[in-house]
Amino acid sequence: MTSLLELPDVRERVHRMSVEDYHRAGETGLLSEEVELLRGIVVTKMAKSPLHELVAQKLMERLLAQVPKGFSVRPERPLTLRDSEPEPDVSVVRGKPDDWAAAHPSTAHLVVEVAITSAALDESKGEIYAEAGIPEYWLVRPEHRAVDVYHEPTRDGYLSKRTLTDGATLRCLSISGVEFPVADTLSARP
């Protein structure tokens, strides 16, 4: 069975939304908080499994312990980009929460997505992050016990991708002093 959005004549008729319209729709209550704007399309966020939440929590704990002063670690908070407003599972941005009282950050030093059932969507988000010039993107794949690390953003995607597994050390190149074993972010083996 073909997905409705896979049909070219339907895809052409999808109503796109600007970031500004997305904000207005959210402020007036027309949108639920369970959506994000990706490439001008409002997308319902995936439900989060216990494994997803566990891995996201471990990442938050490691990053909070190591990210230097002057940065904020943000769980599922919006980044306002050109035609998108994704809410990465974790982002690390320069500044403090009061800096975003009037507008969401428009960049980050690091974004992290945890992919359990959303790998294809999270890989396509990587293109959005690269286009926005975000220097580092981690795609954590717990079921494969791996982390894809992307660097060197361009308008066409990231030029560099490394896949790290259990025995490797995850080092953040965009934020000095952040490093920990990949295994520390994953669940214990059953």
Q: Per residue in 98-130, pLDDT tens?
A: 999 999 999 999 999 999 988 888 998 999 999
Distance between CA atoms of 7 and 159, rounded to whole angstroms?
31
The full set of domains in the chain, from first to last, is: 48-185 (3.90.1570.10)
Q: Per residue in 164-184, pLDDT tens?
A: 998 999 999 999 999 999 999
Q: Per residue in 79-95, pLDDT tens?
A: 999 999 999 999 999 99
Q: What SS3 class is residue 91? A: strand
Percent of the chain with pLDDT over 70: 93
CB atoms closer than 10 angstroms to residue 50: 9
pTM of the model: 0.90
Q: First CA to last CA across the chain, in angstroms?
A: 35
DSSP strand pairing (146-154 vs 157-165): antiparallel
* pLDDT confidence band for 33 (50 / 70 / 90): confident
pLDDT for 118 equals 81
